[in-house]
Structures are given as structure tokens and as C-alpha cells.
């Protein structure tokens, strides 16, 4: 029998991959520790950090249900796949160090929306730009429309993934920054998504995929996603991306020559 909205007994796991980012990790920890509903787990996969990461864990271990693993990994998606295995049976959200739950009632508000009739449940997102917050709604009509070099997907910091999705899918570790988009687009062929008009998480801008230095990698990996999943962009998108790649390559070459 399928479960419907209101199934507040759903288990939740917040999964974070981190490396030498103790200050940002503390921001995430503070938002998790102040939750009014504490019936969830925070799984941290640490790449043998040498900073104060363990101090953060020690400071919050009595306030949060934490599962901390510190060992060498083979990149962020390898770390997140480890987290998925440890979160077996739970709805999973992936928060990077510095991302945070927006309200003390975020978990309380999220649980009634987790519906096993769906593979994904996603919410609106708050962008933290340091001195300014930007509130972005992710209406269902925007998802899957082409934007730049691939169809739109929900921001992973606002996306809860059902445990049944991870029975068949995981992150493709050959990708550097776009495996989350690939997982969603591939699994969406088998699992439906539900949109909830509420702000429950915030995204600290400045991560790997938002860095200008990795923009060419992002375009290349998005094109690879389309090739592997047989997604065909409109002709105007193909022409634009081709021109953009040439421009970025010339820009990077000019930058190297001036150094």
C-alpha cells in the first residue's frame, strides 16, 4: 500500500561530504542542532581533514545524531555514494559544508511532504550570497526546461530523494561536478517528482560547480549527460554552447599568456 502526504514517520538523512572546511561545516551543524524535530541523522563523510573538523563534530555530538566517517575518498561523488549506503532506508538530502537548514522548523515542515508515491520531493531554495539572500522558487514548470546546456533540475540542496531511488541509482563517480544532475535526469525517467512551495534550505554560493574556473568543465559534463541519456537540446542551444566553449577557451588561453 502506498503512503500519502502526512506520512511523518519517514526517516531523513542529511548527507555532507567535506574536506578541511571546518568553519563552513560549523554553519551547517548550527542549523541542524537547532531543529525542533531532531528525529533524523546527519551523516558526514570526511576526506581525512587536518583542520578543526573533528572539533566541530565533538562540539555537536551531544546535540545531533551524527554518523561521522573520516577516511580517504576518491572525490566528492565517491564520498556521497558512501553516505547513500549508510543512509539506507532514509530520504536523503545532500548539504555541502556551509549549506544549512533555513528554519528551526525545516525538518518538521519537510516530513509531512515526503510521499512514497514519488522518487523526489523538492522545495524552493535560498541563495546565501554573504551579505544578501536571494529567494528562488522552483516551480514545477521550470524543471526539465532547457537552460544553457541541459534541462533544468532542482538544486540538490533542496531535493529529497526517496530510498527506493537509490536501489537502482547512485552517483556516477567519473563526473567531477555534474553527477547530481545526471542522477536526477536519469532516475526521473522512472520516478516522479513533487514540488513543495516552501523554503526549507539555504545554499552557500561558492561551491565547486559555481566557480568560474570550472565553468568549461560544467559545460562539457552537461553535454556528456545529454549524450549518455539521449537528451536532445534545441538547435539554438547547441549553437550557443559551441560558441560559448570557444569563447571560454580563448579567455583561458589569454589568461595563461598574461601570467
CATH of the domain at 149: 3.90.550.10
* Residue-averaged pLDDT of the chain: 87
C-alpha span between 224 and 165 (Å, rounded): 22
SS3 245: helix
Buried b (16+ CB within 10 A) or exposed e, 97-106: bbbbbbbeeb
Helix H or strand E segment including 146: strand 146-147
pLDDT of residue 223: 87
Residue 138 resides in a domain: yes
Q: Which residue has the cell 514517520?
A: 9
Q: Is the pLDDT of residue 245 over 80?
A: no
In a domain, residue 242? The reply is: no
Q: Is the pLDDT of residue 109 over 90?
A: yes
Grid cell for residue 116:
512514497
pTM of the entire predicted model: 0.85
pLDDT score recorded for residue 204: 82
Average pLDDT for residues 232-241, to the nearest whole number? 64
243: in domain:
no
Q: Indicate the number of domains in the chain.
A: 1
pLDDT > 70 in the chain, percent: 81
Arithmetic mean of pLDDT, 213-226: 84
All three cell numbers of 99? 549549506
**Domain with 70 in it:** 12-208
What integer pLDDT is reported at residue 102 of this predicted model?
96
Distance of CA 123 to the CA centre of its chain: 12
Q: Are 16 and 68 in contact (CB under 8 A)?
A: no
Does the structure show a pLDDT above 70 at 27?
Answer: yes
Mean pLDDT lowest among 45-54, 123-132, 169-178, 180-189? 123-132
Question: Per-residue pLDDT tens for 45-67?
Answer: 999 999 999 999 999 999 999 99
Per the domain annotation, does 237 fall within a domain?
no
Domain assignment present for residue 259? The answer is no
Does residue 27 fall inside a structural domain? yes
Does the residue 103 lie in any domain? yes
Distance CA 152, CA 156 (A): 12
251 occurs within a structural domain: no
CB of 49 within 8 A of CB of 143? no
The tens digit of pLDDT for each residue in 195-210 reads 999 999 999 876 555 5
Handedness of CA 179, 201, 108, 43 (dihedral sign): positive
- CA angle 175/181/187 to nearest 5° reads 110
Amino acid at each position: 500500500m502506498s503512503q500519502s502526504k502526512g506520512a511523518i514517520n519517514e526517516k531523513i538523512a542529511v548527507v555532507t561530504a567535506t574536506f578541511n572546511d571546518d568553519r563552513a561545516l560549523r554553519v551547517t551543524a548550527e542549523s541542524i542542532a537547532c531543529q525542533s524535530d531532531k528525529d533524523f541523522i546527519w551523516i558526514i563523510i570526511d576526506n581525512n581533514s587536518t583542520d578543526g573538523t573533528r572539533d566541530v563534530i565533538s562540539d555537536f555530538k551531544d546535540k545531533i545524531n551524527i554518523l561521522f566517517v573520516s577516511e580517504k575518498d576518491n572525490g566528492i561523488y565517491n564520498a556521497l555514494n558512501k553516505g547513500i549506503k549508510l543512509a539506507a532506508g532514509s530520504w536523503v538530502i545532500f548539504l555541502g559544508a556551509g549549506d544549512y537548514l533555513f528554519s528551526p522548523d525545516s525538518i518538521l515542515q519537510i516530513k509531512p511532504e515526503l510521499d512514497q508515491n514519488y522518487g523526489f520531493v523538492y522545495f524552493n531554495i535560498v541563495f546565501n550570497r554573504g551579505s544578501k539572500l536571494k529567494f528562488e522558487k522552483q516551480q514545477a514548470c521550470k524543471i526539465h526546461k532547457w537552460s544553457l546546456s541541459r534541462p533544468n533540475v532542482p538544486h540538490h540542496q533542496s531535493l529529497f530523494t526517496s530510498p527506493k531511488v537509490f536501489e537502482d541509482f547512485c552517483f556516477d563517480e567519473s563526473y567531477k561536478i555534474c553527477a547530481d544532475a545526471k542522477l536526477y535526469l536519469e532516475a526521473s525517467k522512472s520516478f516522479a517528482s513533487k514540488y513543495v512551495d516552501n523554503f526549507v534550505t539555504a545554499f552557500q554560493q561558492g561551491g565547486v560547480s559555481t566557480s568560474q574556473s570550472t565553468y568549461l568543465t560544467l559545460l562539457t559534463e552537461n553535454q556528456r549527460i545529454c549524450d549518455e541519456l539521449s537528451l536532445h537540446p534545441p538547435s539554438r542551444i547547441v549553437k550557443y554552447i559551441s560558441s560559448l566553449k570557444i569563447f571560454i577557451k580563448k579567455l583561458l588561453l589569454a589568461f595563461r599568456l598574461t601570467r
